[in-house]
């Protein structure tokens, strides 16, 4: 694992796509994550435009690495579910055309099935989620894309159990390091536990806060022992994409750039 595995989310630049790609390349990233709902969508993005995007990224030495899809509600909530599923299916097809390796989305906190009472709202929500991802992973597998779920305060055990329960295609995890740190968990131990399920890594820092549940911080200001995290990822032979990002604070883009520089210093050149 080296600097060739570092990517950036283009959405943070808030620029036209070509300018965002240039900015990512100048910052030292080797790949980019695309917002499949707001950046690469609409009538302007026909087959020709998609090919031009791929060609331009290649000219810059960038890989179109992954896709990200923001959702307004959890995937087990009935209200508007059909619309959300239509959006996801379109994103998967788009990712296949762009040859993205993964599509990352947040389904909401994973509900746990209750065997003693399958009629509970939690069990019903879990059944919906099982059906949703059985369908979506089948489609993703057809298009050569891996779906990655972003944790929402989920334990490593529940993430492993759920992803392993989907058998129609691979369901992986976008390993958001801050999600585990903000629960007070060892990020290194979580990587070891989930290494077979990890398809993408989001590099965020954070601290456990007993009043608010957890706070995101700039890289290096939280509780994550980054040398241990990088060493553990190397130990489990992870070779996917690593993406630093700051989603909160007064300057998310500046903090993200500082995070990228931090990991470029830590990782060997590729």
d(CA 14, CA 142): 32
Question: What pLDDT, on the 0 to 100 scale, is given for residue 164?
Answer: 95
| Alpha carbon 232 to chain centroid, angstroms | 19
Stretches in the chain below the pLDDT threshold 50: none
Q: Which domain holds residue 148?
A: 3-266
Per the rule left: phi > 0, alpha: psi between -120 and 50, beta: everything else, 120 is beta
d(CA 221, CA 34): 27
Question: What pLDDT, on the 0 to 100 scale, is given for residue 1?
Answer: 83
Question: What pLDDT, on the 0 to 100 scale, is given for residue 120?
Answer: 65
Question: What pLDDT, on the 0 to 100 scale, is given for residue 78?
Answer: 87
Question: What pLDDT, on the 0 to 100 scale, is given for residue 119?
Answer: 57
Assign residue 228 the CATH number of its domain. Answer: 3.20.20.150
d(CA 252, CA 260): 12
Domain count, the chain: 1
Q: Is the torsion defined by CA of 200, 163, 179, 231 positive or negative?
A: negative
Question: What pLDDT, on the 0 to 100 scale, is given for residue 109?
Answer: 92
Please name which of 80, 77, 88 lies closest in space to residue 124, comparing C-alpha atoms: 77
């Amino acid at each position: 694992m080296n600097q060739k595995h570092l990517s950036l989310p283009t959405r943070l630049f808030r620029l036209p796509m070509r300018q965002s790609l240039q900015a990512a390349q100048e910052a030292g990233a080797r790949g980019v994550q695309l917002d499949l709902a707001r950046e690469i969508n609409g009538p302007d993005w026909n087959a020709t435009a998609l090919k031009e995007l791929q060609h331009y990224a290649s000219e810059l030495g960038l890989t179109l690495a992954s896709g990200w899809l923001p959702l307004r509600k959890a995937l087990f909530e009935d209200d508007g579910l059909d619309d959300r599923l239509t959006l996801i299916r379109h994103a998967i097809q788009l990712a296949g055309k762009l040859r993205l390796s993964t599509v990352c989305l947040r389904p909401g906190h994973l509900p746990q099935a209750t065997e003693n009472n399958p009629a509970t709202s939690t069990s019903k929500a879990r059944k919906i989620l099982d059906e949703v991802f059985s369908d979506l992973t089948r489609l993703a597998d057809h298009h050569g894309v891996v779906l990655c779920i972003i944790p929402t305060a989920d334990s490593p055990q529940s993430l492993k159990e759920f992803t392993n329960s989907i058998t129609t295609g691979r369901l992986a995890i976008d390993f958001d390091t801050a999600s585990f740190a903000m629960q007070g968990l060892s990020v290194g131990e979580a990587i070891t536990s989930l290494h077979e399920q990890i398809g993408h890594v989001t590099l965020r820092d954070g601290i456990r806060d007993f009043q608010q549940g957890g706070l995101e911080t700039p890289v290096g200001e939280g509780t994550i022992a980054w040398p241990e995290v990088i060493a553990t990822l190397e130990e489990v032979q992870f070779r996917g994409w690593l993406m630093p990002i700051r989603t909160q604070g007064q300057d998310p883009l500046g903090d993200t750039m500082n995070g990228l520089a931090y990991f470029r210093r830590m990782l060997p050149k590729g």
